[in-house]
Amino acid sequence: MEIVTQKNPKRNAGPPKKSLSPWAMARRKFAKNKLAMTSLFFLVIVGILSFLAPYITTADVSRINIGQMGLEPSKEHWLGTDKAGRDVFTRLLYGGRISLLVGLSCTFFVIFLGTLIGSIAGYFGGAVDNLLMRFTDLILNFPFLVIVIVINAILFGRVSGLWVLIAVISFLYWGGIARIVRSKILSEKENEYITAAISIGCTPAKVIIKHLLPNVLSTIIVQATITFATMIVIESALSYLGFGVPQETPSWGNMLNSANEPDVLQFKYWIWMPPALMITITILSINFIGEGLKDAFNPKSRR
Amino acid sequence: MLKYAFRRILGMIPMLFLISVIVFTLAKLMPGDSLSGEIDPRNTNPQYIQEMREKLGYNDPVPQQYFRWVGNFVQGDFGKSTRFKIDVSEVIGERLPNTIMLGITSIIITYILAFIMGTYAGRKPYTLGDNFISGLNYLGLSIPAFVAGVFAIFLFSFKLGWFPSNGSVDIGVTEGTLEYWLSRLHHVFLPAVVLGFLNIASYTQFLRNDIIENSRKDFVRTARAKGTSEKKIYNVHILRNSIIPLITYLGFDIVAIISGAIITETIFTYPGLGQLFLQSVGTRDYPVLMTLTMLFSFLTLLGNLVADILYGVVDPRIRLD
């Protein structure tokens, strides 16, 4: 095996930089956006706290404690306990873990599928484009929530779990992304550098990955943030309705499910309000980050 | 225009066929008999199931079963509900008016609120009022409908007592009287606002941006140069241009109401199709479930079609391709 110590020694020896690259410009613009940076900071904190949940709290998430049902917030239980005597704060942390995990994985798969299908359709055009786009139309013409619930009802009792949910959501949601990526690729591929790349013998895969995708990446990133927010909403909505994450696993949507009981909703605000607020603030900050990114990537906007 | 609309409607037929095939496949994957509802899924006696399967033709080839189902479906025979023991069409017919009322109220509230806030913010951009409305919009776009619903019940039903938290009408009022309709409106108002929550925010934002953009165009400058009053410029010249694109969203409203109704009706225990849909999953009433799935899919397709055609009406360039 060969060990590469310096991959490209000449890279740093180029002429001195005159102006910033578009990426550096975007980064700088984003860093100046206070609202977006605050949101990013908040999101990172929530992420770290959630993923370190087992080290932060020692309480048992799943153990039902009959002696401590529905306690008000106190020193011992910062956010009180729920109807089964479980610590709400602990569940909030573990719930964030699941909600963010589902949100991130769904976003990843949705963006991956959408980009793959959109770029293939856009690059090749013709019959391939037609076939793939009719398929996309079909996916887009489904009532998303209805089909997810029906599929869940079919799978009920046979297979269940987090990854099934992620797969079902991802498979039914990539349509919008595919359309956007395709239209971007369609206009981008008319450029001369693409003709040049093809004429020197680049394979289609190489043209798409090396030349086309980097130029539509800003759109994909902005779409990814929007999708991330949507996915958190979808996960929590499905869990709230009882068709998402398995009931025994805490997620923000599952915790909010207890608000269906009038008694909890009316008198025990500490059980349902924390997850409701967490969902809202998380989505608000993702939206702010999305707006910030959109602004940062837009060369016309000056700040 | 007619030709364009006709072409779009024709294009819908293969899509409808594909969707019906997929719904049929999903129905076949369900345990028991989810299409006619003659076999009770809770009766597990193998001999009974064998006999019923033979009688109902479940041992026929699959394509034959598909065409029989589609044939019945088109003629309005949706099978029997295993839970209520009556025809599915009756079960759905009972709930349908409630959902239609919810949807229409929601659309009316959405457009009125978005119109008032959007025109105000568009006319006075970057003022205190505009910033306030923008702030509201950010909240509206970020609070998911079910969270908004839970908060709305907590605040307006339990703490303030302004609106009822469940049901579609008070018990004890006679049908047809003014009191009856007022009671229904009273019940439908809160779910309708929650259902339209996201749309109110996005339409307001859209109208505001469109008005600001239009107010910088040449025709507005011409109107100003002629000495047209500012009020007339905004209310006639600009509004006419800004309101038309908004109308194209009507198609998407149908789509949004379908998925929104499932969530909203469940939160408010409002007896409509969305609640029926979730109940039928819970009680394994598969014939109702599959009919509703088909109905929702059809309406979604119709909504997208309406949106497409309205786009063609508003922007004639789209009709060319």
pLDDT tens-digit series, residues A127-159: 999 999 988 988 888 888 888 888 887 886 667
User: What pLDDT is attached to residue A3?
Assistant: 57
Question: Using CA atoms, how far apart are residues A88 and A69, in angstroms rounded to an integer?
Answer: 11
Count of C-beta atoms within a 10 Å radius of residue A163: 11
Round the average pLDDT of chain A to a whole number and report it.
83
pLDDT above 60 for B148: yes
Tokens of B187: 């019940």
Extents of the domains making up chain A: 28-57+85-297
* A149–B139 CB contact, under 8 Å: no
Each residue's pLDDT tens digit, B248-269: 788 888 888 888 888 888 888 8
Q: Please name the residue that has the structure tokens 């906007």.
A: A301
Residue pair B236/B214 in contact by the 8 Å Cβ criterion: no
Asked whether the predicted pLDDT for residue B62 surpasses 70, the reply is: yes
**pLDDT in the model for residue A119:** 93
Residue range A47-62: average pLDDT?
78
* pLDDT tens per residue, range B169-200: 777 777 777 777 888 888 888 889 888 888 89
The confidence band for B239, taking pLDDT boundaries of 50, 70 and 90, is confident
- Does A35 have pLDDT greater than 50? yes
CA distance B235 to chain A (A): 30
Distance, CA of B3 to CA of A191 (rounded, Å): 35
CA–CA separation, B238 and B214 (whole Å): 6
- Residue of B280, B305, B306 lying closest to B292 (CA atoms): B280
Q: Which of A163-177, B38-52, B135-149, B151-165 has the lowest mean pLDDT?
A: B38-52
Give the residue on B whose Cα is nearest the Cα of A137: B15
CB distance A142 to B297 below 8 Å: yes
Residue B138: the pLDDT is 85
* Chain B residues close to A150, C-beta within 8 Å: 26, 281, 289, 293
- Most confident of the ranges A37-51, A262-276, B144-158, B169-183: A37-51
3-class SS of residue A298: coil
Cβ contact, residue pair B293, A240, below 8 Å: no
Q: Which pLDDT belongs to residue A1?
A: 46
The pLDDT tens digits for A198-246 are 999 999 999 999 999 988 988 899 999 999 999 999 999 988 888 888 8
DSSP string, A83-108: TTS-BHHHHHHHHHHHHHHHHHHHHH
CA distance A155 to chain B (A): 9
d(CA B285, CA A149): 14
SS3 sequence, B129-144? HHHHHHHHHHHHHHCC
**Nearest Cα to Cα of residue B115 among B286, B10, B257, B247:** B247
Q: CA B166, CA B106: separation in Å to the nearest integer?
A: 17
- Contact predicate B152/A259, CB 8 Å: no
Query: What domains does chain B contain, in order, with CATH numbers?
Result: 2-74 (no CATH), 91-314 (1.10.3720.10)
Residue B246 has pLDDT above 70, yes or no: yes
Q: How far is A288 from chain B (nearest CA, A)?
A: 9
Inter-chain CB pairs, A–B, below 8 Å: 101
Give residue-wise pLDDT tens across range A151-183: 887 886 667 678 888 998 999 999 999 999 999
Find the distance separating the first CA and the last CA of chain A, reported in whole Å: 50
pLDDT tens column, B268-302:
888 889 889 988 888 877 788 888 888 888 888 88
Structure tokens at B149: 């619903």
Q: Cα–Cα distances in Å, from A128 out to A109, A134, B6?
A: 22, 10, 26
Cα–Cα distance measured from residue B317 to residue B295, given in angstroms and rounded to the nearest whole number: 32
Contact A141 B143 (CB under 8 A): no
Rounded distance, CA B229 to CA A283, Å? 43
Phi, psi (rounded to 5 degrees) for A57: -115, 145
Residue A292, min C-alpha distance to chain B (Å): 14
What the block records as the tokens of B167 is 């049901």
State the CB neighbour count (10 A cutoff) for residue B75: 8
Q: Report, as an integer, the average pLDDT of B90-104.
A: 88
User: Is residue A105 predicted with pLDDT exceeding 60?
Assistant: yes
Contact B281 A149 (CB under 8 A): yes
Instruction: Spell out which residues of chain B touch residue A147, defining contact as CB-CB under 8 Å.
Output: 26, 293, 297
Element (H, E) at B229: none
- In whole angstroms, what is the distance from residue B312 CA to residue B320 CA? 9
> A28-57+85-297 — its CATH code?
1.10.3720.10
Which residues of chain B make contact with A226, given a CB cutoff of 8 A? none
- Residues of A within 8 A of B151 (CB-CB) are 276
Chain A partners within 8 Å of B277 (Cβ): 146, 149
Share of chain B above pLDDT 70, in %: 92
Residue B76 falls in which region: left (phi positive, over 0), alpha (psi -120 to 50) or beta: left
Q: What are the phi and psi torsion angles at B87 (to 5°)?
A: -60, 145
Between these two residues, B82 and A269, which has the higher pLDDT value? A269
Q: How far apart are CA B320 and CA B305, in angstroms?
A: 17
| B244 Cα to chain A: minimum distance (Å) | 24
Nearest to A279 among B144, B255, B281 (CB): B144
Contact, B91 vs B288, CB < 8 A?
A: yes
Q: Does the pLDDT value for residue B101 go beyond 80?
A: yes
Q: For B263, which of A142, A237, A284 is closest by C-beta distance?
A: A237
Of the candidates A143, A154, A284, the beta carbon closest to that of B30 is on A154
Nearest to B281 among A153, A229, A287 (CB): A153
Sole residue written with tokens 């707006």 = A291
ipTM of this complex > 0.85? no
CA distance A144 to chain B (A): 8
More confident call, A78 vs B233: B233
Q: What is the pTM of this model?
A: 0.84
Structure tokens at A165: 């949910």
pLDDT at res. A174:
92
- The percent helix, strand, coil of chain A (3-state, each to 5) is 70, 0, 25
The closest CB to that of A154, out of B29, B262, B267, belongs to B29
* Number of neighbouring beta carbons within 10 Å of residue B117: 24
**Which residue does chain A place closest to B28, by CA atoms?**
A154
Beta-carbon-side half-sphere exposure of residue B62 (alpha carbons within 13 Å): 6
Mean pLDDT along residues B96-110: 90
Contacts of residue A32, Cβ cutoff 8 Å, sequence gap at least 6: A303
Average pLDDT over residues A60-84: 69
Contact A143 B30 (CB under 8 A): no
The pLDDT value given to residue B92: 87
Out of B142, B258, B304, the one facing A284 most closely (by C-beta) is: B142
* Helix intervals (H) in A175-212: 175-188, 192-199, 204-206
Q: How close A138 gets to chain B, by Cα (Å)?
A: 7
Find the angle CA(B266)-CA(B267)-CA(B270) to the nearest 5 degrees: 60
**Mean pLDDT value across chain B:** 83
Instruction: Give the residue carrying structure tokens 């929601």.
Output: B106
Tell me: pLDDT of B132 over 60. Answer: yes
Q: With beta carbons less than 8 A apart as the criterion, state whether B41 and B31 touch.
A: yes
Tell me how many helices (H) and strands (E) chain A has. 14, 0
Identify the pLDDT of residue A42. 92
Q: What is the mean pLDDT of residues A278-299?
A: 88
Q: Residue B160 has what pLDDT?
A: 82
CA A121, A127, A130: angle at the middle one, nearest 5? 60
Task: For residue B262, count other CB atoms closer than 10 A to its CB.
Answer: 25
Question: Nearest chain A Cα to B267, which residue?
Answer: A260
| Interchain proximity B296–A143, CB inside 8 Å | yes
| All residues at 6 or more sequence positions from B91 whose CB lies less than 8 Å from its CB, including other chains | B81, B84, B276, B288
pLDDT at A12 over 70: no
Nearest alpha carbon to residue B196 among B271, B107, B266: B107
